[in-house]
């Protein structure tokens, strides 16, 4: 699994009008295994999943998400935010095996 993990991406408009609601979409590679399944040799596959996603805008907190193993492999997450000022959106994903990834996207508000 470890050869295909991480690679976080954000897709969003890079400009918006003040007050406009914009959609932020993101994707990251992670197995999101539950710990309840076994491999071909019958050995249990350990739980390995992203537990938290935190979203900030110019370091101010916007959104914190906690996930269980019910979130699908390679989690996709979209949310909407109101564009109030220009700045940098940052997302940080953390999994239960000490993996931490981040991605950023700049937004210009006019």
Helix/strand/coil for 108: strand
Build a one-symbol-per-residue string for 1-30: x at contacts with other proteins by CB under 8 A, - elsewhere: xx-xxxxxxxxxxxx-----x-x-x-x-x-
Give the total residue count for the chain.
110
Minimum distance between the CB of residue 15 and other proteins, rounded to whole angstroms? 5
Cα–Cα dist 19/93, whole Å: 27
Sign of the torsion formed by the C-alpha atoms of 62, 27, 1 and 33: positive
Interface ranges with other proteins (CB under 8 A): 1-2, 4-15, 21, 23, 25, 27, 29, 31, 34, 36, 46-48, 51-52, 57, 60-82, 84, 91, 94-106
């Amino acid at each position: 699994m470890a050869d295909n993990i991480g690679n976080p991406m954000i897709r969003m408009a890079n400009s918006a009008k003040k007050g406009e609601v914009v959609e932020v979409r993101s994707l990251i590679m992670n197995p999101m295994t539950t710990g309840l399944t076994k491999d071909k040799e019958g050995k249990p596959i350990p739980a390995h999943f992203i537990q938290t996603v935190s979203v900030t805008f110019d370091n101010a907190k916007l959104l914190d998400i906690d996930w269980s193993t019910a979130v699908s492999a390679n989690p996709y997450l979209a949310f909407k935010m109101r564009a109030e000022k220009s700045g940098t959106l940052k997302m940080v994903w953390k999994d239960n095996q000490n993996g931490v990834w981040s991605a950023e996207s700049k937004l210009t508000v006019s």
